[in-house]
Amino acid sequence: MNRTKIVSVDTNTVSYGDIGFAPVEALGDVTFYDVLTPEELEEAAKDADILLVNKAEVTRALVEKCLHLKYVGTYSTGFNNVDVTALKERGIVASNVPGYSTSAVCQHVFALMLMFAGKTDKYSASVSSGDWIKSGTFCYFPWAMSEIYGKTMGIYGYGNIGRAVADVAKAFGMNVIVHTRTVPVNCPYELVSADDVFARSDFLSFHCPLNEHTRGIINARTVALMKPSAVIINTARGALADEEALASALNSGKIAGACLDVLSAEPMRADCPLYGAKNCVITPHIAWGPKETRERLVEMVAENIKAFLNGTPQNRIA
């Protein structure tokens, strides 16, 4: 009996050797690749029954070359890189992995926020450079710190991660306001308009999908609504921001800062407007990256494949 041929790409974006793929390997004959060019991807995937991707583009052209393809699985929640229409036309099932990174992304939001508010990175670097040894007093305050207690936390998007961030913000004693296109049932927080969430937030954290409604939602008009003391946090999708407009707002002091884990082009380009922007903290799309989170991701990818092979596909996007 022929075993299912599985091709898994983008391996080095999921593991740098610290986690394994045994749950996936148990389900068929698996060939692993790191990041491939589009041409290399076509060659690697042409005979696959199942294709697993993280950020690789599953285009119509690729789908047309993969004559045996029956299923596409993503190592991610987002699937902007997958041509869902082309898959549906061929009757190819596709699934994503929702919810696997909720705790990790929530953790990263507050890691960024607390570092920005407490300037812990600057103080740690100062101590490492010997400044405390030279200090004439037991403490020193060259960088102004602020409390997050009592501040207003705006949540743009109220899915799993948005809810988790809202609850943690409440635990910190913050005032939580929420903007979401789909009105939630029994939301314990004040629901506000898009303009109000920009205008009222001291910290504004984005947890919405990237679509025609949200692309470029952080722009010159919306940033102009914000307090000069406000800070934007984006761990969702880089293209939510007009990066030129955001960089301009930061460099001119229209807002106090931005904490970003995502950019519109990744890896970052040398000409990215936010590279070196004033009071802009950037991490390299790692909010989802704790080891436990990636292990959970691989398990859930395998569960999606099992469900498909059993004729009961789950978490379908196509």
Q: What does the pLDDT profile of the chain (318 residues) look like in tens digits?
A: 579 999 999 999 999 999 999 999 999 999 999 999 999 999 999 999 999 999 999 999 999 999 999 999 999 999 989 999 999 999 999 999 999 999 999 999 999 999 999 999 999 999 999 999 999 999 999 999 999 999 999 999 999 999 999 999 999 999 999 999 998 999 999 999 999 999 999 999 999 999 999 999 999 999 999 999 999 999 999 999 999 999 999 999 999 999 999 999 999 999 999 999 999 999 999 999 999 999 999 999 999 999 999 999 999 999
pTM: predicted TM-score of the whole model, two decimal places? 0.94
Q: Which of 266, 269, 292, 316 is catalytic?
A: 266
User: What SS3 class is residue 23?
Assistant: helix
215 is catalytic: no
Superfamily for domain range 102-282: NAD(P)-binding Rossmann-like Domain (3.40.50.720)
CA–CA dist 291, 22 (Å, integer)? 15
266 is catalytic: yes
Q: Which CATH number is correct for 5-98+291-309, 3.40.50.720, 3.90.1300.10, 3.40.430.10, 3.40.50.1970?
A: 3.40.50.720
207 is catalytic: no
Q: Residue 185 class from Cβ within 10 Å (0-12 exposed, 13-18 middle, 19+ buried)?
A: exposed
Q: Where in the chain is the domain with CATH 3.40.50.720?
A: 5-98+291-309, 102-282
Number of H helices, E strands in the chain: 13, 12
